[in-house]
Amino acid sequence: MPAAGHHPSGARRILVYGVTGSGKSTAALRLGERLGLPVTLVDELTWLPGWVPVSDERQRELIADIASGEEWILDSAYGAWLHVVLPRTELVVGLDYPRWFSLQRLVRRTVSGALSKEPRCNGNTESWRGMFSRASIIRWHFASFARKRDRMRRWAHSADGPPIVLLKNSTELDAWVAALRTEQAPGGPAGH
């Protein structure tokens, strides 16, 4: 497992992975800006307006198209198409944050969205009804937390898994991104 300060060494296909609410999208956007790589926010490909899910088959097609490219950052990988992304991934940035941290972040974001009606993916907005429904993202956090955390930790301890930077908190993420800045040549991101 690479240390938290590990430089991506020219990695051009990066998967940001973590539990629901860990800040994957924000981390992916930061990395994309820093490294000059295109970022795909997976929720934009998996939810249509009105929180209608895109079919699993169509999701796999869209993700396969992105994964076949030479440069990308994805902010998630759903289990239904993880096998499409991993063989092409050069580096996983794993956000292995404590449950309390990701849950409070998720609740705060969801409540804020329900109050402000600020559009999320594809113009969808949070609602009080949705927050307490069977399909609630908060409920999903509880249903998926252990599985996603265990998956990241298995990757970190497997010689066969993808290279991974496993970060335990947002301070480690900040330090890792800052280290990327100091290792880049003046005048732009790596490779440019």
DSSP character for 81? G
Whether residue 107 is predicted with pLDDT greater than 50 in this model: the reply is yes
**Residue 120 maps to a domain:** no
pLDDT of residue 182: 47
What is the CATH classification number for the domain harbouring 168? 3.40.50.300
pLDDT of residue 181: 57
Confidence label for 167 from pLDDT (cuts 50, 70 and 90): very high
Query: What separation, in Å, do the N-terminal and C-terminal C-alpha atoms of the chain show?
Result: 27
**Residue 131 maps to a domain:** no
**Residue 121 maps to a domain:** no
**Residue 38 maps to a domain:** yes
Q: What percentage of residues in the chain have a pLDDT greater than 90?
A: 43
Torsion angle defined by CA atoms of residues 82, 37, 149 and 147, in that order, rounded to the nearest 10 degrees: -20
Beta strands 164-167 and 72-74: pairing type?
unpaired
pTM of the model: 0.82
**Residue 142 maps to a domain:** no
**Residue 168 maps to a domain:** yes
**Residue 192 maps to a domain:** no
DSSP 82-150: HHHHGGG-SEEEEE---HHHHHHHHHHHHHHHHHH----GGG----HHHHTSTT-HHHHHHHHHHHHHH
Average pLDDT for 156-171? 89
How many domains does the structure of the chain reveal?
A: 1
**Residue 162 maps to a domain:** yes
Q: How far apart are CA 37 and CA 10, in angstroms?
A: 11
Cβ atoms of 110 and 127 closer than 8 Å = no
Which residues on adjacent β-strands are paired with residue 18? 95
Neighbours of 10 (CB within 10 A): 10
Whether residue 28 is predicted with pLDDT greater than 70 in this model: the reply is yes
Whether residue 173 is predicted with pLDDT greater than 70 in this model: the reply is yes
Domain that holds residue 20: 13-98+148-182
